[in-house]
């Protein structure tokens, strides 16, 4: 079994080692051949003889040799292993690769988005593409760590549901043993239902939206990172939201220094996070940009960018919290503000120009919840199991939900959220382009 | 915000505290009322006055008072907080509960499986039900911990897929933007596809099976915990499988002492795990029980129980690894044994009478894989993105997959796998019983 990785070579100067990996680049100088050997941890320069001339990009190889310091003038400060190289003795090809459709050896991949996705099983190997998913892993780890420290229990909730409970956005419905079921739009209702058992929970779950939209920020299948807390009030929820946002990103910053540097991500500014109501945010935007958006029911993508610019400039914060969105614009379980029921005890947190999480204090009283469901034209019978949790004693509670791909996109400033999913699903694609497939 | 939990009271004797939770039991002695106050961390005896007579089971309450040592004769050694009680000063009802459909205050819930699930939003609160999900969380934590220590990167893979790629078992299909998609039966193909990028990966993912079966071990929606490793050979995979199985369970044992005790789980026996081929296992069963199963293509549930009994008795091991299942009985990506291609480099690991994980060395050569797909009557065009990963250089690789609910069921010796899912999905139920719903 492979027990030596490229990264390990940094502390093995003078040692004989065996490295397994992929041929990333090949520079043929006739008697001497230079290979960039890639594995999951980095790239190592290999100096080989004529036998290496027959290798091809992406061939899987096993190379034995000695780790040496490079001559001073050949040091490459841009790479982690730029001061060393492997003087090869033996090479064995474990698996041959077909001729590549494009050059994978450049520092930037430089392909269009369709090509990036059409060849996903190949392009994921590129160090800069792969690093997106190391950062994504760190965001999940960071989220779990802070959630656990807040005494949340991790739960698994179902993704098959019996009715489109959130209304509004379209759902994927299907035959389920002679009944109609659908893919869940959100783990929301289930995380609330377990509060009376576990009090504080977190989850990482898939959510499905059949919206016929092709924007840079929507996926048909996406991943949410959610928390829900019993026995909390609104102001405490804002503290929790900000704490989880900041700590999740801080963990990724710390764990993925190399990857964030590759993507030219500047250090995250965390000062005191400004908290504004939607109205206050709109007034700031008006004052800063001249665009009058006061009275709009939500922030537009442009508004999100503008309010974040203001927070960065004026408050030295990459985060902004916006509260009190109109009650009618939020989901039925959102608690109206007792001081002004037209507005709700809801919040979004924005990070570097994009909303990355959303949430609210919830309606926790059974009768009020039933009334709200009816008022919105829905049938309480469709919410039997959900309402049962409230019928038998639900404490004041609330929570929030982060979009994992969005968070990854924003932190790495990727142009499109599809780049932040290993195999993105949208209107046009399920692995391969749908246009290549026969319609049903 | 609640910042004091029942569990914390153990070290607060003599202190004034405020506790939030649910009324679990009420014993009315007229002038003195005893309450069992439950929160997510335990149960605390509260001594209240006449004001407490109006409380009902599952009311959500806020109680202030003083933590005291109980008189010697009132100590209850069966509960963690059995030596203390809360002398109440004030009580406030935060949320009222309806009259319960059954008694929730008993040490065992004593309801039938249909009732347990019909009232899931209520029954999850029972300490012994809730504890199942603390153990489940610990199994996930243990799995992540050992996987990370084996240098696996966590990945998120999609659950919408374009074709039923594993063949055989039935799938849930649905309309996807004018095409037909389906819910994935397994994250298998995707974890293989990322090996050339990340080399070693793990994931916790949902899997969907539309099998029309109602057994004690099947769910329509279940959760898998998977690992996949590049640059490994068969014997190493067996080592990895056993290591992950043992460490995952050991973590839960350590983290959930109280919960395992509640379920009367005896300490797990981990000696040297016996490794048998299917044929050897069948011969052991014949010798031990007289049942001649030699030559059968797989182990039956009865066989699994019998071989585990033998391993426990003869090898002092709660685990058994069984290898070399017939190639035709395993999925197409399973590598045939070069010494005898009728048998495959596949394996199951059994724990206390149940198969908890399954896996294999994979076919990693592109041409062989294409041939296998064709030989099984499938179309390689349906596997375009999968095959691409092999076309451009795949190392020898393999992995395995644990069923999270099965593992939970077996460890806790639950009679039915449905008890190991918060909200189980099967032929008969999506939260509520399907028979209550109109057919489509």
Catalytic residue among B324, B352, B406, B429: B406
Give the pLDDT of residue A216.
79
B218 noted as active-site residue? yes
Of B157, B395, B425, nearest to A422 by CB-CB distance is B157
Return all residues near A15 (Cβ < 8 A) that are at least 6 apart. A66, A67
pLDDT in tens, A171-203: 999 999 989 899 999 999 999 999 999 999 999
Task: Say if B32 is an interface residue toward chain A (CB within 8 Å).
Answer: no
Task: Delineate the domains of chain B, giving CATH numbers in brackets.
Answer: 6-95 (2.40.50.140), 121-436 (3.30.930.10)
Which residues of chain A lie closer than 8 angstroms to B119, CB-CB? 388
Residue A165 has pLDDT above 60, yes or no: no
**Mean model confidence pLDDT for chain B:** 95
Interface contact A155-B162, CB threshold 8 A: no
Interface contact B158-A94, CB threshold 8 A: no
pLDDT bin (cut points 50, 70, 90) of residue B117 is very high
pLDDT in tens, B27-78: 999 899 999 999 999 999 999 999 999 999 999 999 999 999 999 998 998 8
% of chain A beyond a pLDDT of 70: 98
- What does the DSSP assignment read for A304-358? HHHHHHHHHHHH--SEEEEE--BGGGS-TTBPEETTEEEEESEEEEEETTEEEEE
pLDDT in tens, B165-216: 555 568 999 999 989 899 999 999 999 999 999 999 999 999 999 988 777 8
Catalytic residue among B38, B120, B200, B209: B209
A211 noted as active-site residue? yes
- How far away is chain A from the Cα of B273, in angstroms, using its nearest Cα? 20
Residue A166 has pLDDT above 90, yes or no: no
**Mean model confidence pLDDT for chain A:** 95
Which residues of chain A lie closer than 8 angstroms to B394, CB-CB? 60, 95
Residue B339 has pLDDT above 60, yes or no: yes
A415 class by beta-carbon count within 10 Å (0-12 exposed, 13-18 middle, 19+ buried)? exposed
CA B44 – CA B11 distance, rounded (Å): 13
Of A2, A96, A177, nearest to B231 by CB-CB distance is A2
Catalytic residue among A85, A247, A355, A419: A355
Interface contact A159-B206, CB threshold 8 A: yes
Chain B neighbours among A 86-105 (CB < 8 Å)? 94-98, 100
Which residues of chain B lie closer than 8 angstroms to A59, CB-CB? 393
Element (H, E) at B286: helix B278-289
Task: Say if A320 is an interface residue toward chain B (CB within 8 Å).
Answer: no
Interface contact A58-B232, CB threshold 8 A: no
Phi, psi (degrees; rounded to nearest 5) at B117: -90, -30
Give the pLDDT of residue B138.
98
pLDDT bin (cut points 50, 70, 90) of residue A164 is low
Task: Say if B125 is an interface residue toward chain A (CB within 8 Å).
Answer: yes
User: Which stretches does DSSP call E strand in A30-59?
Assistant: 32-39, 42-48
pLDDT bin (cut points 50, 70, 90) of residue B236 is very high
Give the pLDDT of residue B440.
60
Interface contact A432-B384, CB threshold 8 A: yes
CB atoms within 10 A of CB B266: 9
Give the pLDDT of residue A436.
80
From B314, B306, B279, select the one nearest B290 (Cα to Cα): B306
Indicate the pairing of strand A319-323 with strand A275-277: parallel
Interface contact A100-B206, CB threshold 8 A: no
pLDDT in tens, B147-167: 999 999 999 999 999 865 555
In the predicted model, what is the mean pLDDT of residues A373-393? 95
The model's pTM is 0.97
Residue A291 has pLDDT above 70, yes or no: yes
Residue A437 has pLDDT above 90, yes or no: no
CA A349 – CA A317 distance, rounded (Å): 12
CA B254 – CA B258 distance, rounded (Å): 9
Residue A438 has pLDDT above 90, yes or no: no
Of A392, A395, A432, nearest to B122 by CB-CB distance is A392
B209 noted as active-site residue? yes
Whether A230 and A199 have beta carbons less than 8 Å apart is answered as yes
Q: What share of chain A is helix, strand, coil (3-state, %, to 5)?
A: 35, 30, 35
From A42, A26, A118, A25, select the one nearest A80 (Cα to Cα): A42
């Amino acid at each position: 079994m492979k027990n030596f990785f490229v990264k390990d070579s940094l502390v093995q100067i003078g040692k004989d080692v065996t490295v397994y990996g992929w041929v990333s680049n090949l520079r043929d100088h006739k008697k001497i051949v230079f290979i960039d050997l890639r594995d999951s941890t980095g790239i190592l320069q290999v100096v080989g003889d004529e036998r290496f001339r027959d290798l091809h990009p992406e061939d899987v190889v096993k190379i034995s040799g000695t780790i040496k310091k490079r001559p001073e003038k050949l040091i490459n400060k841009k790479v982690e292993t730029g001061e060393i190289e492997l003087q090869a003795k033996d090479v064995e090809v474990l698996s041959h690769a077909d001729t590549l459709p494009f050059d994978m050896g450049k520092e930037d991949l430089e392909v269009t988005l369709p090509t990036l996705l059409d060849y996903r099983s190949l392009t994921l190997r590129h160090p800069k593409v792969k690093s997106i998913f190391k950062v994504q892993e760190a965001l999940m780890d960071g989220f779990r760590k802070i959630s656990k420290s807040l005494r949340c229990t991790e739960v698994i909730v179902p993704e098959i549901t019996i009715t489109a409970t959130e209304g509004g956005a379209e759902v994927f419905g299907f035959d389920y043993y002679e009944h109609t079921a659908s893919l869940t739009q959100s783990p929301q209702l289930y995380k609330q239902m377990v509060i009376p058992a576990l009090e504080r929970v977190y989850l990482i779950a898939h959510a499905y939206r059949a919206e016929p939209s092709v924007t840079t920020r929507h996926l048909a299948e996406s991943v949410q990172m959610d928390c829900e807390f019993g026995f909390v009030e609104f102001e405490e929820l804002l503290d929790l939201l900000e704490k989880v946002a900041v700590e999740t990103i801080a963990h990724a910053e710390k764990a993925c220094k190399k990857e964030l540097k590759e993507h030219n991500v500047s250090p995250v500014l965390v000062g005191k996070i400004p908290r504004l109501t939607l109205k206050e945010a709109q007034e700031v935007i008006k004052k800063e940009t001249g665009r009058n958006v006061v009275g709009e029911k939500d922030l537009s993508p442009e508004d999100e960018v503008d309010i974040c610019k203001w927070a960065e400039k004026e408050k030295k914060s990459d985060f902004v919290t916006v509260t009190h969105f109109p009650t009618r614009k939020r989901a039925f379980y959102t608690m109206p503000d007792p001081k002004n029921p037209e507005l709700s005890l809801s919040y979004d947190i924005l990070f570097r120009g994009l909303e990355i999480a959303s949430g609210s204090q919830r309606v926790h009283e059974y009768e009020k919840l039933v009334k709200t469901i009816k008022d919105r034209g829905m049938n309480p019978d469709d919410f039997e199991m959900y309402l049962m949790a409230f019928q038998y004693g639900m404490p004041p509670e609330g929570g929030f939900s982060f979009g994992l791909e969005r968070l990854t996109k924003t932190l790495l400033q990727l142009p499109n959220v599809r780049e932040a999913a290993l195999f993105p699903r949208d209107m046009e694609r399920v692995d391969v382009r749908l246009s290549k497939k026969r319609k049903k």
